[in-house]
Every structure is written in structure tokens, then in C-alpha cells.
A = this chain, B = another copy of it.
């Protein structure tokens, strides 16, 4: 929402393609980690200067450089020069308010995704921009902050027998994107569980902040949808690109990822429908409660107001008021009161008000 827009805003009035970091600085230093592998060899090291990574660029082995932190415009700019990236690509990497997309620059693909996860501490959904540059012999990934989200992929790379060791940069990119998509599923599931719990609260008539929760979940699912929808488009586009960077044997895996992300968007839509239904039900529950309150009021009023009136009659001070003199008047009076009250109760009972 506003977040996206605000980022774009900051860059306003700048010449397109100018390198400016647009976002919030989330780490102290830019940190670069290189993994270079083929089916036989594996090199892992931290890069101090991006130029140290340049030699790996040419080799036939798969080179993956993961960059954490985007605020150091100069460092990022150097990467652009070393790997010969288009100015607009560099601008998009630095602007964390991008919409997920895939751009085909011929010799490389530029992929932007939003990584989404649920922060257990703040109980909030946090998102981070992931930019992937997929070239023939190398993959660059740019994250806003360090994280362990790609550790399972690193683990698979370290196992020499794994499928990833025998495959190319396209499969590595797929594996990274698939990890991101699986994170979507896990965030959706987390919210989904809460939404399903909410349902029972509503039907049992509990009312502690139901409105606020429905509203919060609506915003969260709306936010998720806004991030995942364009990601879905991007994933679909990927398998339809006519670019040699994507090998045919990777296609079934991309198709599988498509199924997964369709799954994710359908689940969001289902949860959103559930929230709408819940709001309707909540409103009906509130209206029913109102009816109950009014019934209590009406029953009390309808029974006691006439009785009070009758008592009022015999509280008047008319000098000539025959009933007052009669000895059994008081008991007859009580009899009348009880009869009226009983009749009223019977009437409301018959109307099934209680």
C-alpha cells in the first residue's frame, strides 16, 4: 500500500536510471557471498570487493552471488559495472518499491519478487524485495537484509548428489523462487489459521475485538494479494519466455511452481471471501443481540407498566373511591395484577420471545 508508493515518491523528479537508494536501510554493511559450483566442485566464500567475483563470471560453472543490503549505492553500482547490467536494472534493484516482474534483457533476465514472512516478534507480516539477475553462467540475488531463508538451497547445493548440482543457473533461480513461493504459502497458512479461529469466536457470540481482527486480516490478505498476484504473473511469464536461458528440462519444475502459486492466490481469495462472510455473520449476530436486548426491555416494560398504572389508580386520593373500602379489595387487586402479569408472560411465551 502506501509503502510502495512512498518509495517511488522519494525518487520523483530524478532522471530515470539515476542510482539512488529508495527504501529503509536495514543492515549496516553490504555483504556479498559467493557460491560457485558444478557437479564436481564447490567454492563458497565471502566477497569483500565485487571484483573478486569477476573471474567466476566467465567459467561454465554456476556462480551465485547473494548480496545483502542495498544502501551502499557505490558498492551496488560496482556490481552493475562488473556484470554489465542496464542502468534501469540497477535503478530497480535499489528502489525497494518495485512491483514483482520479469524483464528480459536478452543476455540475462531480471526478476523482482517480494519475500514475505511472518515476524513472530512483532506479530506482523514483513516483506523484503528480492531481485534476481539470471544469466547464462551466474545468478545475482539482492536482498534488503541478511536472512536464513535460502539456507535450505545452500544445503542442497552442498550435497554433491543433489539435482541442483547437475543443473544450470535456471534451475538455481527456480529453486530460489520456489523458496520464496513456499514462504507465501506458510504466511497464508498462518493467517488462515487465525481466520478460522476467529470464526468460532464470532459464532459463539464473543465480541472482544472481533471487528478489529476482521479488519486487520482484511488488510493483511489485501496486502498479500497485492504482492503475490504480480508474482504469479511473473512466474507464468517465465515459462513462456522464449529465451535460451531457460532450458527445457527446467520447464516441468516451473509448471510445478505455477501450480503452487495459483494455489496460494486461490487460498488468499478463499480467505478473503471467508472474512467477508464473517463480517456479515458478525453483523447478524449484533442485530440478533439487539433483538434480545429489546425483548428483555419490552417484556419488563409490558408487564410492569400496566401493573404500575393499576397501583397508581388505587393510590389516588379521590374521596369517593368505592373499591378502597371493600375488605377484600387488596387481595382482589393482587389477583388482578397476577392475572395480567401471567397473561402477558403467556403472550410473550407464545410468541417465543423467551
Contacts and interface: CB of A to CB of B under 8 A. Distances in A.
Interface stretch (A54-62, A120-128, A210-218): A210-218
Contacts of A286: 284, 287-288, 291
B312 A318 contact: no
A170 B298 CA distance: 70
A341 to B, nearest CB: 10
A300 interface: yes
A178 interface: yes
A317 B320 contact: no
Contacts of A327: 319-320
Interface in A285-302: 285-291, 293-298, 300-302
A2 B196 contact: yes
B281 A9 contact: no
A279 interface: yes
Nearest to A267: B5
B186 A284 contact: no
A266 B97 CA distance: 13
Nearest to A255: B103
A5 B92 CA distance: 32
Interface string A185-216: 11011001100100100010000000110010
Interface of A: 1-2, 4-6, 8-9, 12-13, 15-17, 86, 88, 92, 98-99, 101, 103, 152, 156, 162-164, 175, 178-179, 182, 185-186, 188-189, 192-193, 196, 199, 203, 211-212, 215, 218-219, 222, 226, 252-253, 255-256, 259-260, 262-264, 266-267, 270-271, 273-274, 277, 279-291, 293-298, 300-302, 304-309, 311-325, 327-330, 333, 353
